[in-house]
Structure 1
Amino acid sequence: MTALLAALHDHPDYLAIAPRLHAADAAIRRVALLELADEADPELLPALVHALDDADAGVRAEAARLLAGADDIAATAALAARLLDSDGAVRDAAAQSLSELKSADCGTVLLDWAVHDNAFARTAALRALRELRLPAAHDAGLAALKHPQAGVRREGVGVLGWLKADDALPALADLAQHDPDAEVRRAASGAVGFGQHPAVLPALLAALGDEHWPVREEAAATLGKLRLQAAGEALISTLEQDIWQVRIRAARALGLLHERQALPALIGSLAHQAGNLRKEAAIALGEIGDPSALPALSIATDDPDPEVRKAARLALGKLASA
Structure 2
Amino acid sequence: MNTSPIVLQDLDAIADRAADALARLQSPDEAVRRIALLQLADLESAATIPAFIAALRGDEAAEIRQEAASILGAWERDDVVDALCAALLDADDDVRAAAADSLSELKQASSGAVLQRWVRQPDPFVRRSVLRGLRELRCAEAFGHALSALDDDDATVRLEAVAVLGWLKDERALGPLAQRAAGDADAGVRRAAVGALGFAPAADETTARALLAALRDDAWQVREEATATLGKLRTPSAVDPLVAALDDPYWQIQLRAVRSLGQIRNARAAPAVAALLTHPIGNLRREAALALGELRDTGTLPALRDALLDSDPDVRKAARIAIAQIGEDDR
TM-score by length of 1: 0.91
Equivalenced residues, count:
321
Question: Out of 78, 84, 102, which is 1:73 matched to?
Answer: 78
SS in 1 for 2:19: helix
Deviations 1:155-212 (A, max 9, x none): 1111111111212211111111111000010011111121243321111111111111
1:30 has 2:34 as partner: yes
Which of the numbers 255, 260, 271 marks the counterpart of 1:253?
260
What is the match of residue 147 of structure 1? 152
Deviation per CA, 1:51-87: give whole Å up to 9, x if none: 2122211111122123335333222111111011111
In structure 2, the partner of 1:192 is: 197
Alignment of 1:146-225 (within 5 A): 146-196=151-201, 197-225=204-232
| Aligned ranges 1:257-276 → 2 under 5 Å | 257-276=264-283
- The correspondence of residues 78-97 of structure 1 with structure 2, limited to 5 A, is 78-97=83-102
- Give the Cα separation in 2 of the matches to 1:35 and 1:84: 27
CA shift for structure 1 position 145 = 0.9
Question: For residues 11-57 of structure 1, what are the alpha-carbon distances to aligned partners after superposition, in whole Å with 9 as ceiling and x for unaligned?
Answer: 14423533444432223333333344344444444433332122211
Q: Deviations 1:274-311 (Å, cap 9, x if unpaired)?
A: 33323322221122122333333344445444444443
Q: Counterpart of 1:17 in structure 2: which amino acid?
A: A
The change in CA–CA distance for 1:50 and 1:272 in structure 2 (over 3 A counts) is: farther
Matched with 1:289 is 296
After alignment, is 38-47 or 241-250 more displaced?
A: 38-47
* Residues 203/44 of structure 1: CA separation in 2 closer, same or farther (3 Å cut): same
SS at match of 1:147: coil
Distance in 2, Cα, partners of 1:176 & 1:69: 36
Matched residues in 2 for 1:315 and 1:28: separation? 66
Unaligned 5+ segments in structure 2 are none
How far apart are the structure 1 equivalents of 2:175 and 2:227? 19
Contact kept, 8 Å, 2:115 with 2:134, in 1: the verdict is yes
CA contact (8 A) 1:185 1:215 kept: yes
- Give distance in 2, aligned partners of 1:37 and 1:160: 35
Seen in structure 2, the aligned counterparts of structure 1 residues 110 and 318 have a Cα distance that, compared at 3 Å, is same
Change (3 A) 1:308 1:29: farther
Q: Work out the percentage of aligned pairs sharing the same amino acid.
A: 47
The CA distance in 2 between the partners of 1:301 and 1:14, in whole Å, is 70
**Residues 231-250 of structure 1 correspond to what in structure 2 (within 5 A)?**
231-250=238-257
Residues 194/25 of structure 1: CA separation in 2 closer, same or farther (3 Å cut): same
Letter in 1 for 2:29: D
Q: 1:49 aligns with which of 48, 53, 56?
A: 53
- Larger deviation: 132-141 or 102-111? 102-111
Maintained 8 Å contact 2:6/2:50? no
Equivalent AA in structure 2 for residue 244 of structure 1: W
Out of 194-203 and 95-104, give the one that drifted further. Answer: 194-203
What residue in structure 2 maps to residue 228 of structure 1? Answer: 235
Q: Looking at CA atoms only, which structure, 1 or 2, has the larger radius of gyration?
A: 2
CA distance in 1 between partners of 2:251 and 2:207 (Å): 25
Q: What is the CA–CA distance in structure 2 between the aligned matches of 1:277 and 1:252, rounded to whole Å?
A: 9
The range that moved more, 236-245 or 268-277, is: 268-277
| 1:7 matched residue in structure 2 | 10
CA drift at 1:244: 0.9
- For residues 229 and 205 of structure 2, what CA distance do their matches in structure 1 show? 15
Deviates further, 8-17 or 283-292 = 8-17
d(CA) in 1 for partners of 2:120, 2:44: 34
Structure 1's 171 and 56: CA in aligned 2 closer, same or farther, altered over 3 A? same
Q: Which shifted more, 34-43 or 246-255?
A: 34-43
C-alpha displacement at 1:92, in angstroms?
1.1
**Once the 2 structures are TM-superposed, how far is the Cα of residue 247 of structure 1 from its aligned partner?**
1.4
Give yes or no for contact 2:227–2:242 (8 Å, CA) kept in 1: yes
In the alignment, is the contact (CA less than 8 A) between 2:297 and 2:326 conserved in 1? yes
Q: Larger deviation: 307-316 or 199-208?
A: 307-316
